[in-house]
Structure 1
Amino acid sequence: MAAEQIPDINPTAPPSGEGCLECLSGNGPGWWFHLRRCAACGQIGCCDSSPSQHASKHARQSGHTFIVSYEPGEDWYWDIKTGQYYDGPPLAPPTSHPDSQPVPGPEGKVPADWQQHLH
C-alpha cells in the first residue's frame, strides 16, 4: 500500500516521549523490550514481546491500527489489523528513542531475568 493510501496517519503528531507512556506511568512492570509509536497520535508503547504489550493495546482500544518502530535505524509501519508491514511517510522527529537509552529499558527498571518475561 502506498503511503498516501494509508488512512489515519498524522505525520505531524509528535511522539509522547522517550519511552512507553503506560510503563513509565506505572501501568505494568515498568520496563519494555522494544518501543513502538502510534502513527496516528504519537503515543509511545512497548512492543508485543514486552510484558505489557501497550502499543498493541493502544491500537486496539483507540482504533489507531498503524504503528511504527521507535527503535533507532528502523522505519517500518505495521498494521495490527492486517498483520502486514507497509512503507509510510516520515513522521515528526524524533523518530526513535535516544541512542543512549538501553534496550531493553529504561535503565534501572529491567530485571536481571528479563528474557524470561518476554512474550
Structure 2
Amino acid sequence: MTRIQDDLFATVNAEWLENAEIPADKPRISAFDELVLKNEKNLAKDLADLSQNLLTDNPELLEAIKFYNKAGDWQAREKADFSAVKNELAKVETLNTFEDFKNNLTGSVAKFENQMRPL
C-alpha cells in the first residue's frame, strides 16, 4: 500500500483507481465522466419509456421524445439522401489551410439553414 506522504493522489483514490474501467470508446474516465455516462443511460431509458407511453402534454418533452425517436430510427437514417452534405464534405476534404477554409466555405452553412425543419 502506498503511504499517504509518498503519493496523496494514489492513496486517496486507491479504491477508484482499482475499480475504474475506461470504456473502449473513451480516451479517459473520471468520476465526472462516470456521472455523465450514468445520466446519458438514464436519459435514454427515460425517453424510451416515455416514447412507449406518451402520457404528457408538455410540448418541450414531446419534442424531446420526437427527436429521440427520429435519431433512433436507423432505417430512415440509412435511406436518407445525404448527397448535399456529401458534396459539402468533399469540398472540405480539398482544403489545406485556414485561408482555403475562409475563401471557399463562406456561406456553406447558410445553404443548409433553410433545410433545417422542426421535427
Same fold (TM over 0.5): no
Bigger Rg over Cα = 2
The TM-score range, normalised by the shorter chain, is under 0.3
TM-score by length of 2: 0.19
Bigger relative contact order, structure 1 or 2, given CA contacts below 8 A and separation 6+?
1
Instruction: Say which structure is richer in helix.
Output: 2
